[in-house]
Amino acid sequence: MKVLIPGSFDPPTNGHIDVINRCSKVFDEVLVGVVVNPSKESLFTTEIREEMLNEILANSNNVQIKTFEGLLVDFAKANKVQAIVKGLRAMTDFDYEFQMAQMNSNLADFETIFIPASPEYGYVSSSMVKEINSYGGDVTKLVPQNVFKRMNDV
């Protein structure tokens, strides 16, 4: 079974990587879709986000990274995935994710599979990582090394 894990990944966190790695053990193929969202201000370009994920997941043979623009379901269809996978950190994620899952099912009959975040990453989010790092707080345990380096290279 081939699944799609979509997201902004701005930047990828250890929580994202944990979900991707766990899915790569459960499913035959994992496609990671990095969304191009021109209306959302981002720290990294889509190309850099894709590059960082490629570096981190270089040894994961059944994981592929691609960027996409437009509707998730169109990207999912074009890449012949059987389902969309989303990581859930807490119940606060649920309302929005549930709504998106129902909308994607309504748009194109796509199933969404939810996977719980590992407890050690339940509180990690890209936006908090960016904020903490911008104030000089320590995020070394929250993101992969190459991400930390790029965040502090500028």
- At which residue do the structure tokens 């190459």 appear? 146
Taking alpha carbons only, the member of 114, 126, 108 closest to residue 84 is 114
Q: How far apart are CA 124 and CA 133, in angstroms?
A: 13
Radius of gyration of the chain (CA): 15
Among 3, 4, 5, 6, binds ligand PNS (CB under 6 A): 6
Does 112 participate in binding ligand PNS (rule CB under 6 A)? Answer: no
19 part of the interface to ligand PNS, by CB under 6 A: no
Least Å from the CB of residue 153 to ligand PNS: 23
Task: Single out the segment in contact with ligand PNS by CB under 6 A; choices: 54-62, 99-107, 117-125, 133-141.
Answer: 99-107
Q: Which of 3, 4, 5, 7 binds ligand PNS (CB under 6 A)?
A: 7
Q: Which region, judged by CB under 6 A, interacts with ligand PNS, from 1-9, 44-52, 115-123, 145-153? A: 1-9
Q: Count of H helices and E strands in the chain? A: 6, 5
Distance between CA 119 and CA 110 in Å, rounded? 28
Catalytic residue among 16, 49, 86, 150: 16
Cβ closest to ligand PNS, residue 38 vs residue 136: 38
DSSP letters of 66-90?
A: EEE-S-HHHHHHHTT-SEEEEEE-S
Backbone angles phi, psi at 19, to 5 degrees: -65, -45
Query: Is residue 88 a contact residue for ligand PNS (CB under 6 A)?
Result: no
Binding positions for ligand PNS, rule: CB under 6 A: 6-8, 35, 71-72, 100, 103-104
